[in-house]
Structure 1
């Protein structure tokens, strides 16, 4: 519950204060005084105008982290019988989604806020970090698949319980 609340808080804050900030005033003309084809309104994300695709990815992953963490909170306070293995696995998968989405949001923010002069180092750090994260997620996933299969095999008597 604490981790879900923290992820929801971070995701909410990132949504209302995206990387690069928000426009403080309406913009109807460019730096040379020419009218903008698409005027910009105060309160909209700067990143949306400068890097539209990355902003879309940022908002998708941020929203995914926010909704997944709120889903965990809702499941925990709903009063459903959470002692069942299936419920615990569902919650665990939702937490994986929330944490992974938060990690991806972090890397998108990091890339957006770093200067071009740091792009080489940033690329290496990001690539190594993402590969390490995927490796860790793979190990945890495989471990849980093995554990689930053993549980199923024990349930149907194929494998005997440990004594």
Structure 2
């Protein structure tokens, strides 16, 4: 393709349209035999190639995520029963401690009586409300505490899900974990320096996830009871 965007096939077509001779027709036949393309055909093929490459990259990324999950599953399955039990105990302990840390933060909560009787600079600036964590009077400290606590909580839940992936009642377990996650998120937002509007948004989102998990759990029960025929996945 030249700087004007024409290929030899395009130039030959222009010559034939303006009245070519026998040699031009012979060259045209040779171009057809070797599969010479026009400029628009090259552009179409290039766009199709780009779409194919993008789809291949997307499939490769999803395949990498699936391979990572399979490697984790393989690591768990190859470990001994004692190791799995020890990991489960540690994961449950971390989940319990981090969950309790949100329900009972180190500094406690503001009460209505204290809010009326005490005058603190940070409280006067922000207008602390009853039920809000005292630590929330310093938003930076509260944010750091919440982030590290959430990392430990969600990492422990992921470990529990991984260790119980072969559990027969895994659908119900997912539902229980999701419900506990919802209460954790709502507790963080309710005790922190936020407004009710954000709580409603979280409740709606967690409600949708809860509904999706409940549907999956119901479908699993119906398949177990034989109401819905069970179909195996083809590999």
Using structure 2 for the length normalisation, give the TM-score: 0.32
Higher relative contact order (CA 8 A, sep 6+): 1
Bigger Rg, structure 1 or 2: 2
Which is helix-richer, 1 or 2?
2
TM-score by length of 1: 0.42
Bigger fraction of residues in strand: 1
